[in-house]
Structure 1
Amino acid sequence: MADMEKLLQSVEEARNSRDYAPLCQHIPYARKIGMSCQSDSEGALFLLPGSEKNIGNPMLPAIHGGVVGGFMEMAAAAHLMLFMDEPRTPKMIDFSLDYLRSSRVVDTFARCEVVRQGNRVANVMIKAWQADPSAPVAIGRAHFKLSHR
Protein backbone atom coordinates (compact mmCIF):
# COMPACT_ATOMS: atom_id res chain seq x y z
CA MET A 1 0.00 0.00 0.00
CA ALA A 2 2.95 2.35 0.55
CA ASP A 3 3.72 2.31 -3.20
CA MET A 4 0.13 3.32 -3.99
CA GLU A 5 0.31 6.19 -1.51
CA LYS A 6 3.58 7.36 -3.13
CA LEU A 7 1.91 7.22 -6.54
CA LEU A 8 -1.10 9.24 -5.36
CA GLN A 9 1.23 11.75 -3.69
CA SER A 10 3.15 12.05 -6.98
CA VAL A 11 -0.13 12.63 -8.81
CA GLU A 12 -1.08 15.40 -6.36
CA GLU A 13 2.32 17.05 -6.80
CA ALA A 14 2.07 16.80 -10.60
CA ARG A 15 -1.42 18.31 -10.59
CA ASN A 16 -0.28 21.22 -8.42
CA SER A 17 2.97 21.93 -10.26
CA ARG A 18 1.92 20.89 -13.81
CA ASP A 19 5.24 19.03 -13.96
CA TYR A 20 4.13 15.57 -15.08
CA ALA A 21 7.60 14.17 -15.78
CA PRO A 22 8.18 12.52 -12.36
CA LEU A 23 4.83 10.70 -12.47
CA CYS A 24 5.99 7.99 -14.92
CA GLN A 25 8.93 7.16 -12.65
CA HIS A 26 6.45 5.67 -10.15
CA ILE A 27 5.07 3.18 -12.69
CA PRO A 28 7.46 0.22 -13.21
CA TYR A 29 6.28 -0.67 -16.73
CA ALA A 30 6.45 2.99 -17.79
CA ARG A 31 10.06 3.09 -16.60
CA LYS A 32 10.88 -0.15 -18.43
CA ILE A 33 9.67 1.08 -21.82
CA GLY A 34 11.02 4.62 -21.29
CA MET A 35 7.63 6.34 -21.20
CA SER A 36 7.47 9.98 -20.15
CA CYS A 37 4.82 12.67 -19.83
CA GLN A 38 4.88 16.42 -20.12
CA SER A 39 2.41 19.22 -19.66
CA ASP A 40 1.43 21.26 -22.69
CA SER A 41 -1.34 23.63 -23.76
CA GLU A 42 -3.73 20.72 -24.38
CA GLY A 43 -3.10 18.92 -21.08
CA ALA A 44 -0.73 15.97 -21.03
CA LEU A 45 1.38 14.60 -23.86
CA PHE A 46 2.82 11.12 -23.41
CA LEU A 47 6.01 9.96 -25.14
CA LEU A 48 7.36 6.50 -25.93
CA PRO A 49 10.87 7.13 -27.26
CA GLY A 50 12.03 5.25 -30.32
CA SER A 51 14.22 2.54 -28.79
CA GLU A 52 15.74 -0.69 -30.04
CA LYS A 53 14.73 -2.43 -26.79
CA ASN A 54 11.05 -2.04 -27.77
CA ILE A 55 11.36 -3.66 -31.22
CA GLY A 56 9.03 -6.57 -31.87
CA ASN A 57 9.65 -7.16 -35.57
CA PRO A 58 13.31 -6.66 -36.47
CA MET A 59 12.59 -7.24 -40.18
CA LEU A 60 10.64 -3.97 -40.56
CA PRO A 61 11.80 -2.87 -37.84
CA ALA A 62 8.70 -2.02 -35.80
CA ILE A 63 7.82 -1.45 -32.16
CA HIS A 64 6.19 -4.51 -30.58
CA GLY A 65 2.40 -4.18 -30.56
CA GLY A 66 2.29 -5.10 -26.88
CA VAL A 67 4.62 -2.22 -26.07
CA VAL A 68 2.38 0.18 -28.00
CA GLY A 69 -0.69 -1.20 -26.23
CA GLY A 70 0.97 -1.04 -22.81
CA PHE A 71 2.10 2.52 -23.48
CA MET A 72 -1.43 3.55 -24.40
CA GLU A 73 -2.93 1.76 -21.39
CA MET A 74 -0.44 3.44 -19.01
CA ALA A 75 -1.10 6.81 -20.67
CA ALA A 76 -4.86 6.41 -20.15
CA ALA A 77 -4.48 5.50 -16.47
CA ALA A 78 -2.00 8.33 -15.80
CA HIS A 79 -4.15 10.84 -17.69
CA LEU A 80 -7.20 9.80 -15.70
CA MET A 81 -5.36 10.20 -12.39
CA LEU A 82 -4.09 13.63 -13.44
CA PHE A 83 -7.39 15.02 -14.67
CA MET A 84 -10.21 13.34 -12.75
CA ASP A 85 -12.02 15.37 -10.12
CA GLU A 86 -10.19 13.69 -7.25
CA PRO A 87 -7.06 11.57 -7.82
CA ARG A 88 -7.88 7.94 -7.15
CA THR A 89 -6.39 4.70 -8.37
CA PRO A 90 -8.16 3.48 -11.51
CA LYS A 91 -8.47 -0.24 -12.15
CA MET A 92 -8.77 -1.45 -15.72
CA ILE A 93 -12.11 -3.01 -16.61
CA ASP A 94 -11.75 -3.15 -20.37
CA PHE A 95 -9.26 -2.02 -23.00
CA SER A 96 -9.93 -2.00 -26.73
CA LEU A 97 -7.16 -1.20 -29.19
CA ASP A 98 -7.15 -0.74 -32.95
CA TYR A 99 -3.76 -0.90 -34.65
CA LEU A 100 -3.94 1.29 -37.75
CA ARG A 101 -0.39 1.08 -39.10
CA SER A 102 3.03 -0.26 -38.23
CA SER A 103 4.85 1.65 -35.47
CA ARG A 104 8.35 2.38 -36.69
CA VAL A 105 11.22 2.75 -34.23
CA VAL A 106 10.82 6.50 -33.77
CA ASP A 107 9.21 8.55 -31.01
CA THR A 108 5.55 7.70 -30.47
CA PHE A 109 3.19 10.17 -28.82
CA ALA A 110 -0.19 9.69 -27.15
CA ARG A 111 -2.92 12.02 -26.10
CA CYS A 112 -5.93 11.00 -24.02
CA GLU A 113 -9.41 12.35 -23.45
CA VAL A 114 -11.69 11.49 -20.55
CA VAL A 115 -14.97 10.91 -22.33
CA ARG A 116 -17.00 10.33 -19.18
CA GLN A 117 -16.24 10.11 -15.51
CA GLY A 118 -18.89 8.90 -13.13
CA ASN A 119 -18.66 7.99 -9.45
CA ARG A 120 -17.55 4.42 -10.15
CA VAL A 121 -16.49 4.19 -13.81
CA ALA A 122 -14.53 6.36 -16.24
CA ASN A 123 -14.08 6.08 -20.01
CA VAL A 124 -10.91 7.31 -21.73
CA MET A 125 -10.05 7.55 -25.43
CA ILE A 126 -6.38 7.32 -26.48
CA LYS A 127 -4.72 8.25 -29.77
CA ALA A 128 -1.09 7.34 -30.52
CA TRP A 129 0.89 8.72 -33.46
CA GLN A 130 4.44 9.18 -34.62
CA ALA A 131 5.28 11.98 -37.07
CA ASP A 132 1.77 13.29 -37.70
CA PRO A 133 -1.10 13.50 -35.17
CA SER A 134 -3.59 13.21 -38.05
CA ALA A 135 -2.12 9.79 -38.96
CA PRO A 136 -2.44 7.71 -35.78
CA VAL A 137 -0.66 4.37 -35.47
CA ALA A 138 -3.30 3.17 -32.98
CA ILE A 139 -6.45 4.32 -31.21
CA GLY A 140 -7.87 2.86 -28.04
CA ARG A 141 -10.69 2.99 -25.55
CA ALA A 142 -10.29 2.19 -21.88
CA HIS A 143 -12.84 1.71 -19.14
CA PHE A 144 -11.73 2.02 -15.53
CA LYS A 145 -13.31 1.26 -12.20
CA LEU A 146 -12.58 4.12 -9.83
CA SER A 147 -11.56 3.14 -6.32
CA HIS A 148 -12.45 5.15 -3.28
CA ARG A 149 -9.70 6.60 -1.13
Structure 2
Amino acid sequence: MGQGMTYIDLPPYAQAMGMEIDGHEDGIPIIAMDFADRVTGRPGYLHGGAIGGLLEMAGFAALHAELDRQGLDVRIKPVNINIEFLRGGIEQRTFAKGTVVRSGRRIANVRIEAWQGDASRPLAACWMNFQLSPKETPKL
Protein backbone atom coordinates (compact mmCIF):
# COMPACT_ATOMS: atom_id res chain seq x y z
CA MET A 1 0.00 0.00 0.00
CA GLY A 2 2.81 2.44 -0.53
CA GLN A 3 3.59 4.79 2.35
CA GLY A 4 0.16 4.50 3.97
CA MET A 5 -0.79 2.52 7.04
CA THR A 6 -3.13 -0.44 6.71
CA TYR A 7 -6.19 -0.89 8.87
CA ILE A 8 -8.48 -2.57 6.39
CA ASP A 9 -7.74 -4.01 3.00
CA LEU A 10 -8.95 -1.64 0.31
CA PRO A 11 -10.77 -3.37 -2.57
CA PRO A 12 -9.19 -3.77 -6.02
CA TYR A 13 -11.10 -0.74 -7.38
CA ALA A 14 -9.57 1.53 -4.75
CA GLN A 15 -6.12 0.08 -5.35
CA ALA A 16 -6.51 0.57 -9.12
CA MET A 17 -7.43 4.22 -8.53
CA GLY A 18 -4.30 4.70 -6.42
CA MET A 19 -6.09 5.04 -3.08
CA GLU A 20 -4.37 4.15 0.17
CA ILE A 21 -4.87 4.56 3.88
CA ASP A 22 -2.84 7.62 4.80
CA GLY A 23 -3.38 7.52 8.54
CA HIS A 24 -6.06 7.53 11.21
CA GLU A 25 -7.93 10.20 13.11
CA ASP A 26 -9.84 9.12 16.22
CA GLY A 27 -9.57 5.51 15.01
CA ILE A 28 -11.08 6.30 11.61
CA PRO A 29 -8.95 5.72 8.49
CA ILE A 30 -8.15 8.67 6.24
CA ILE A 31 -8.15 7.56 2.61
CA ALA A 32 -5.83 9.40 0.21
CA MET A 33 -5.56 9.47 -3.58
CA ASP A 34 -2.76 11.08 -5.59
CA PHE A 35 -3.56 13.03 -8.73
CA ALA A 36 -2.75 10.93 -11.84
CA ASP A 37 -3.96 10.41 -15.40
CA ARG A 38 -6.34 7.66 -14.22
CA VAL A 39 -8.31 10.17 -12.10
CA THR A 40 -8.23 13.14 -14.48
CA GLY A 41 -11.46 14.61 -15.82
CA ARG A 42 -11.12 17.85 -17.70
CA PRO A 43 -7.48 18.96 -18.00
CA GLY A 44 -6.01 19.82 -14.61
CA TYR A 45 -8.97 18.60 -12.55
CA LEU A 46 -10.13 15.43 -10.83
CA HIS A 47 -12.92 13.46 -12.47
CA GLY A 48 -16.16 13.57 -10.48
CA GLY A 49 -16.36 9.77 -10.54
CA ALA A 50 -12.90 9.52 -8.96
CA ILE A 51 -14.00 11.92 -6.20
CA GLY A 52 -17.17 9.87 -5.71
CA GLY A 53 -15.16 6.66 -5.50
CA LEU A 54 -12.85 8.19 -2.90
CA LEU A 55 -15.83 9.34 -0.82
CA GLU A 56 -17.40 5.88 -1.06
CA MET A 57 -14.21 4.11 0.05
CA ALA A 58 -13.87 6.51 3.01
CA GLY A 59 -17.49 5.80 3.96
CA PHE A 60 -16.93 2.04 3.95
CA ALA A 61 -13.66 2.44 5.90
CA ALA A 62 -15.31 4.59 8.58
CA LEU A 63 -18.22 2.18 9.02
CA HIS A 64 -15.92 -0.88 9.16
CA ALA A 65 -13.80 0.85 11.83
CA GLU A 66 -16.88 1.72 13.90
CA LEU A 67 -18.33 -1.80 13.62
CA ASP A 68 -14.94 -3.28 14.60
CA ARG A 69 -14.83 -0.92 17.60
CA GLN A 70 -18.27 -2.19 18.64
CA GLY A 71 -17.20 -5.81 18.11
CA LEU A 72 -19.90 -6.39 15.49
CA ASP A 73 -19.50 -8.72 12.54
CA VAL A 74 -22.33 -7.81 10.18
CA ARG A 75 -22.87 -7.63 6.45
CA ILE A 76 -23.07 -4.05 5.16
CA LYS A 77 -24.84 -3.08 1.99
CA PRO A 78 -24.91 0.47 0.63
CA VAL A 79 -28.47 1.67 0.12
CA ASN A 80 -28.01 5.29 -0.93
CA ILE A 81 -25.27 7.81 -1.63
CA ASN A 82 -25.84 11.53 -2.11
CA ILE A 83 -22.78 13.51 -3.25
CA GLU A 84 -22.40 17.28 -3.03
CA PHE A 85 -19.64 18.63 -5.30
CA LEU A 86 -18.51 21.91 -3.75
CA ARG A 87 -15.52 22.90 -5.91
CA GLY A 88 -13.14 21.37 -8.44
CA GLY A 89 -10.36 19.08 -7.31
CA ILE A 90 -7.00 20.22 -8.66
CA GLU A 91 -3.68 18.46 -9.34
CA GLN A 92 -2.76 17.45 -5.80
CA ARG A 93 -3.27 14.68 -3.24
CA THR A 94 -6.88 14.36 -2.11
CA PHE A 95 -8.04 13.01 1.25
CA ALA A 96 -11.37 11.74 2.55
CA LYS A 97 -12.68 10.71 5.96
CA GLY A 98 -16.05 9.48 7.09
CA THR A 99 -17.94 10.01 10.33
CA VAL A 100 -20.51 7.45 11.44
CA VAL A 101 -23.46 9.59 12.51
CA ARG A 102 -25.70 6.66 13.45
CA SER A 103 -25.16 2.93 13.63
CA GLY A 104 -28.25 1.03 14.69
CA ARG A 105 -29.29 -2.61 14.42
CA ARG A 106 -30.36 -2.37 10.76
CA ILE A 107 -29.25 0.99 9.36
CA ALA A 108 -26.09 3.09 9.49
CA ASN A 109 -25.65 6.69 8.31
CA VAL A 110 -22.20 8.00 7.41
CA ARG A 111 -21.13 11.55 6.48
CA ILE A 112 -17.95 11.81 4.39
CA GLU A 113 -15.87 14.81 3.33
CA ALA A 114 -13.03 15.06 0.81
CA TRP A 115 -10.43 17.83 0.81
CA GLN A 116 -7.09 18.93 -0.58
CA GLY A 117 -4.62 20.65 1.71
CA ASP A 118 -7.08 22.16 4.19
CA ALA A 119 -9.65 19.81 5.77
CA SER A 120 -11.83 22.80 6.71
CA ARG A 121 -12.39 23.51 2.98
CA PRO A 122 -13.97 20.34 1.52
CA LEU A 123 -14.17 19.93 -2.24
CA ALA A 124 -16.97 17.37 -1.92
CA ALA A 125 -19.12 15.79 0.75
CA CYS A 126 -21.69 13.04 0.84
CA TRP A 127 -24.11 11.02 2.91
CA MET A 128 -24.14 7.24 2.66
CA ASN A 129 -26.85 5.03 4.10
CA PHE A 130 -26.11 1.36 4.74
CA GLN A 131 -28.26 -1.64 5.54
CA LEU A 132 -26.79 -3.82 8.29
CA SER A 133 -27.69 -7.49 8.54
CA PRO A 134 -26.29 -10.53 10.32
CA LYS A 135 -23.80 -12.59 8.36
CA GLU A 136 -25.21 -15.95 7.40
CA THR A 137 -23.42 -18.94 8.84
CA PRO A 138 -22.44 -21.59 6.30
CA LYS A 139 -24.75 -24.58 6.22
CA LEU A 140 -23.10 -27.96 6.58
Task: Name the CA distance, whole Å, in 2 between partners of 1:76 and 1:141.
Answer: 8
Cα drift, residue 20 of structure 1: 2.6
Q: TM-score, normalised by structure 1?
A: 0.79
Cα drift, residue 126 of structure 1: 0.2
CA displacement, residues 39-60 of structure 1 (integer Å, 9 cap, x when unaligned) = 43432211011212210112xx
Cα drift, residue 112 of structure 1: 0.9
Q: Match for residue 138 of structure 1?
A: 124
Is 2:134 the partner of 1:148? yes
Count how many residue pairs are aligned between Structure 1 and Structure 2.
127
Q: TM-score, normalised by structure 2?
A: 0.83
- Whether contact under 8 Å (2:31, 2:57) holds in the other structure is no
RMSD of aligned residue pairs (Cα, Å) = 1.5
- Whether contact under 8 Å (1:76, 1:126) holds in the other structure is yes
CA displacement, residues 70-105 of structure 1 (integer Å, 9 cap, x when unaligned) = 110111012211221214332110101100000012
Higher helix fraction (1 or 2): 1
Gap regions ≥5 residues in structure 2: 136-140
Q: Match for residue 77 of structure 1?
A: 60
Task: Name the CA distance, whole Å, in 2 between partners of 1:115 and 1:65.
Answer: 24
Task: Name the CA distance, whole Å, in 2 between partners of 1:98 and 1:140.
Answer: 6
Runs of 4+ residues over 4 Å off in structure 1: none
- Whether contact under 8 Å (1:81, 1:89) holds in the other structure is no
Is 2:25 the partner of 1:54? no
Following superposition of structure 1 onto structure 2, how do residues 1-149 of structure 1 map, counting pairs within 5 Å? 20=6, 23-24=9-10, 27-43=11-27, 44-58=29-43, 61-84=44-67, 85=70, 86-149=72-135
